[in-house]
C-alpha cells in the first residue's frame, strides 16, 4: 500500500495535501512528451505523489520510468507550484491540494512505452501547440515551460 492509500482509508474523499514529483521531458527538437491519462482522458506531464520520506527528485525519476519507460538523466527544477489552481479531484471523488515540484529533463534513455494502467497514449508536442485538453493543475508548469522554451528560440 502507499501512504496516500493508507490516509484515504481514514479520510475518505476529503481534501488531502499531497506533494507531487513531476517531470517535463523535452526532446532534441524542443518538444515535450505528454501522456493522456487513462482515468479522465486529459493530457498531463509525468509524475505522481511522493511516498512518506521519499526524496522528491527520486520520486520524479521513479514516476517517469513507471509511466513512460524512460530513465531520466540530468534534471533541472522548473519550479514549485501550489495554490488554488493546483486543486484536483480524481474521477473517484478523491480531492487533493497539490504542491508540485516540477523538473525539466532533456537527457534520458530507454524505450518509450505507456504504463497501461495509468496512461492511454504518449505524444510529443511543440511548445506553441500544447493540447487544449490539459489536466488543469498541470497548466501552470506547462505554461511556464512553454513561455521559457519559446523565449529561448527568439
The Cα diameter of the chain in Å comes to 51
Query: Which secondary-structure segment (H or E) carries 100?
Result: strand 95-105
The verdict on residue 41 lying in a domain is yes
84-92: average pLDDT: 93
How far is Cα of residue 99 from the mean position of the Cα atoms in its chain?
12
104-110: average pLDDT: 98
How far is Cα of residue 25 from the mean position of the Cα atoms in its chain?
10
The verdict on residue 117 lying in a domain is yes
Q: For position 122, what pLDDT does the model report?
A: 98
5-10: average pLDDT: 93
Cα(24)–Cα(106) distance, integer angstroms: 9
Q: How does residue 152 score in pLDDT terms, banded at 50, 70 and 90? A: confident
Domain that holds residue 94: 23-153
* Residue showing cell 491540494: 97
Cα(32)–Cα(34) distance, integer angstroms: 6
Is a pLDDT exceeding 90 seen at residue 64? Answer: yes
Q: What is the pLDDT of residues 114-131, one digit of tens each?
A: 998 999 999 999 999 999
Q: How many domains does the chain have?
A: 1
123-147: average pLDDT: 97
The verdict on residue 4 lying in a domain is no
Q: Which residues contact 92 (CB under 8 A, 6 or more apart)?
A: 13
The verdict on residue 9 lying in a domain is no
65-91: average pLDDT: 96
Q: What is the pLDDT of residues 45-62, one digit of tens each?
A: 999 999 999 999 999 999
Query: Percentage of the chain with pLDDT > 90?
Result: 93
The verdict on residue 11 lying in a domain is no
CA atoms within 13 A on the CB side of 120: 8
Any idea what the CATH number is for the domain that residue 74 is in? Answer: 3.90.79.10
Q: What is the pLDDT of residues 17-27, one digit of tens each?
A: 999 999 999 99
The verdict on residue 10 lying in a domain is no
Residue 78's CB is within 10 A of a number of other CB atoms, namely 20
Task: For Cα atoms 28, 106, 132, give the angle at the middle one, nearest 5 degrees.
Answer: 80
The predicted model scores a pTM of 0.94
Is a pLDDT exceeding 70 seen at residue 1? Answer: no
Q: For position 142, what pLDDT does the model report?
A: 98
The verdict on residue 2 lying in a domain is no
Amino acid at each position: 500500500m502507499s501512504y496516500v492509500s493508507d490516509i484515504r482509508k481514514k479520510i475518505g474523499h476529503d481534501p488531502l495535501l499531497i506533494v507531487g514529483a513531476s517531470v517535463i521531458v523535452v526532446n532534441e527538437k524542443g518538444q515535450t512528451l505528454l501522456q493522456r491519462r487513462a482515468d479522465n482522458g486529459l493530457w498531463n506531464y509525468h509524475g505522481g505523489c511522493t511516498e512518506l520520506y521519499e526524496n522528491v527528485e527520486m520520486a520524479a525519476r521513479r514516476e517517469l520510468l513507471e509511466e513512460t519507460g524512460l530513465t531520466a538523466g540530468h534534471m533541472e527544477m522548473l519550479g514549485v507550484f501550489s495554490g488554488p489552481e493546483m486543486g484536483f479531484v480524481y474521477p473517484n471523488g478523491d480531492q487533493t491540494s497539490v504542491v508540485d515540484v516540477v523538473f525539466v529533463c532533456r537527457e534520458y534513455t530507454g524505450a518509450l512505452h505507456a504504463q497501461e494502467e495509468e496512461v492511454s497514449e504518449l505524444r510529443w508536442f511543440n511548445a506553441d501547440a500544447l493540447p487544449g485538453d490539459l489536466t488543469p493543475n498541470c497548466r501552470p508548469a506547462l505554461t511556464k515551460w512553454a513561455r521559457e522554451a519559446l523565449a529561448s528560440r527568439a
